[in-house]
């Protein structure tokens, strides 16, 4: 079995991401923190190191090339996925991780501090109740809700010209068909994540006002 560092390095190369040794080290330190806290809190069901690199780190990093703008919101971040890997890979952008689970955000806050992520922050609230001081260029969700609910609850937080990104497994044909009015599916991207079953990224834009 390959060591986690090798799995991560080869996975990043496969995804076309050029991460420094320090960035890769921070990603592995994040995993170590995740498993340390997992002894007390139920943060992840994945116990195998190789699977955790592919299903947590590489799965999150696969969306990095598709982020837009300088402000990213991770809705329903849980243990910080994909928000923390994004913040590590893109120190030039601001990443806000939102969740209503106090224990999970306590972990995320600790991880941000220990990893020195000056570009990351958390918000403990329900997304439909949150009125941000500014809107976001990219609003992303990994395991928050089905696509129609995600758009209804978080759509008000995307900036004009921005996008909502929904991370999915199989192509979500039925969810796309049930999208609420005011949103359009720009495209669905097949993501080739090493070691992970088929993954798709749904790119949605909010309809712009005309007239």
The predicted-structure confidence for 80-130, as pLDDT tens digits, reads as follows 999 999 999 999 999 999 999 999 999 999 999 999 999 999 999 999 989
Report the distance separating Cα 211 and Cα 200, nearest Å.
34
* Total Cβ atoms within 10 A of residue 45: 7
Whether the pLDDT of residue 209 is over 60: the answer is: no
pLDDT at position 116 is: 97
Whether the pLDDT of residue 39 is over 90: the answer is: no
| pLDDT tens column, 150-170 | 999 999 999 999 999 999 999
Report the distance separating Cα 142 and Cα 82, nearest Å.
7
Cis peptide before 82 (omega within 30 of 0): yes
pLDDT band at 211 (very low <50, low <70, confident <90, very high): very low
| pLDDT tens column, 49-75 | 777 899 999 999 999 999 999 999 999
Cβ(167)–Cβ(204) below 8 Å: no
pLDDT at position 21 is: 97
Whether the pLDDT of residue 37 is over 90: the answer is: no
pLDDT at position 45 is: 63
| pLDDT tens column, 177-192 | 999 999 999 999 999 9
* Total Cβ atoms within 10 A of residue 60: 24
Burial class of residue 154 in the structure, from the number of CB atoms within 10 Å of its CB (0-12 exposed, 13-18 middle, 19+ buried):
buried
Strands (E), the chain: 71-75, 94-99, 120-124, 136-141, 158-168, 183-191, 199-206
pLDDT at position 17 is: 96
Q: Which residue has the higher pLDDT, 208 or 65?
A: 65
Across all residues in the chain, what is the average pLDDT? 92
pLDDT band at 23 (very low <50, low <70, confident <90, very high): very high
């Amino acid at each position: 079995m390959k060591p986690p560092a090798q799995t991560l390095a080869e996975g990043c190369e496969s995804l076309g991401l050029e991460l420094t040794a320090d960035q890769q080290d921070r990603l592995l330190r994040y995993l170590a923190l995740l498993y340390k806290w997992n002894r007390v809190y139920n943060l992840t069901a994945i116990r195998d190191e190789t699977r955790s690199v592919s299903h947590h780190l590489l799965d999150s990093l696969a969306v990095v090339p598709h982020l837009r703008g300088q402000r990213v919101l991770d809705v329903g971040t849980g243990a910080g996925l994909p928000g923390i890997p994004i913040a590590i890979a893109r120190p030039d952008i601001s990443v806000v991780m939102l969740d209503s689970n106090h224990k999970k955000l306590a972990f995320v806050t600790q991880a941000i501090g220990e990893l020195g992520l000056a570009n990351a922050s958390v918000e403990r609230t329900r997304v439909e109740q949150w009125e941000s001081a500014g809107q976001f260029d990219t609003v992303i969700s990994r395991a928050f809700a089905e696509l129609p609910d995600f758009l209804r609850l978080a759509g008000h937080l995307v900036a004009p010209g921005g996008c909502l990104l929904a991370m999915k497994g199989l192509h979500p044909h039925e969810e796309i068909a049930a999208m609420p009015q005011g949103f359009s599916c720009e495209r669905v991207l097949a993501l080739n994540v090493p070691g992970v079953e088929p993954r798709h990224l749904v790119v949605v834009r909010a309809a712009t006002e005309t007239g």
